[in-house]
């Protein structure tokens, strides 16, 4: 899981660009819309999915009034009809991709994802063909400055809440739980008064493939091509994010 969190942190450090911020906001608004529609209404107090979506929106510094407008729009008669869809395929060098989208036009999204694969040396697969390569986990990112407990005491509380592993990065803790314990961990963090930077179910690769830096860059460029698509919410892959690769990326 370490490679996955390293890539997440790289994206976080590079995420200050206006383009990335706009994408984060678009994703957060779609998450709110789906949560209102499928999770049980516009009240975060009674809709856990919406509560998580709002928390994640705050984590990317979305203004409060923008969040409130998104909830109001999603619960109105003219709300957009978004649908969650997933795609699987291979990039160059046999790197597996799992892509989660939220769309109001599935045909458009299928065509776009297929085109991105084909133009970048990859191929779209059939649904279910690669899902076994990833494990669904709850992933909670907590800024250390938001912690109101000693680290050792806090870790014990997290384990009680279902944490299976905890990674300590420079300014954040990345806490993993089983997919089935996502709600339990969310409730434990609420009980502790901790507001996460993000909390979501992610697909963690069971095994990773290490590539030479130049080949790895091609994979990360493909990741960015997908992430630039408005319908794409999350992109998962099994490329090993090596220390050598991180050192090269940080020179950019």
CATH code of residue 177: 3.30.70.980
Last residue of one domain, picked from the residues 41, 74, 107: 74
Please tell me whether residues 109 and 215 are part of one structural domain.
yes
Helix (H) or strand (E) run with residue 239 in it: none
Same-domain check for residues 25 and 141: no
Q: What are the pLDDT digits (tens) for 145-176?
A: 877 777 888 889 999 999 999 988 888 889 99
Q: What pLDDT sits at residue 17?
A: 54
Strands (E), the chain: 83-90, 96-103, 123-124, 134-143, 163-168, 172-178, 198-205, 232-237
Give the model's pLDDT for residue 96. 96
Q: Token pair for residue 96?
A: 């597996």
Answering whether pTM is above 0.95, one says: no
Shared-domain flag, residues 89 and 197: no
Domain of 29? Answer: 2-74
Residues 138 and 193 in one domain: yes
Does residue 143 share a domain with residue 95? no
Residues 221 and 100 in one domain: yes
Q: In CATH, what number is assigned to the domain containing residue 67?
A: 1.10.10.200
Split into its structural domains, the chain has a count of 3
Tell me which residues of the chain have a pLDDT lower than 50: 1-4, 6-7, 9-10, 12-16
Residue 137 sits in the same domain as residue 242: no
SS3 at position 211: coil
- Give the pLDDT of residue 252: 65
pLDDT at 19: 64
Q: Note whether 137 and 150 are same-domain residues.
A: yes
Give the total residue count for the chain. 252
């Amino acid at each position: 899981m370490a490679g996955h969190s390293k890539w997440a942190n790289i994206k976080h450090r590079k995420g200050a660009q206006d383009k990335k911020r706009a994408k984060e906001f678009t994703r957060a608004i779609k998450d709110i819309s789906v949560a209102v529609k499928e999770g049980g209404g516009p009240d975060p107090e009674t809709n856990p999915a919406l509560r998580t979506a709002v928390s994640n929106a705050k984590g990317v510094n979305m203004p409060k009034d923008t969040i409130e407008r998104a909830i109001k729009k999603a619960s109105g008669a003219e709300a957009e009809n978004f649908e969650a869809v997933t795609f699987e395929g291979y990039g160059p060098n046999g790197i597996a991709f799992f892509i989660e989208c939220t769309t109001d036009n599935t045909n458009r999204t299928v065509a776009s994802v297929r085109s991105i694969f084909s133009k970048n040396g990859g191929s779209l697969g059939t649904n279910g063909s690669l899902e076994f390569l990833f494990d669904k986990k709850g992933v909670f990112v907590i800024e250390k400055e938001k912690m109101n407990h000693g680290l050792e005491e806090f870790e014990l509380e997290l384990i009680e809440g279902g944490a299976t592993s905890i990674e300590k990065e420079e300014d954040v803790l990345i806490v993993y739980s089983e997919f089935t314990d996502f709600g339990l961990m969310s409730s434990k963090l609420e009980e502790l008064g901790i507001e996460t930077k993000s909390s979501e179910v992610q697909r963690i690769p069971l095994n990773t493939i290490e590539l030479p830096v130049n080949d790895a860059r091609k994979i990360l460029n493909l990741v960015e091509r997908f992430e630039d698509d408005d319908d794409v919410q999350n992109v998962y892959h099994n490329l090993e994010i090596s220390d050598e690769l991180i050192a090269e990326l940080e020179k950019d």
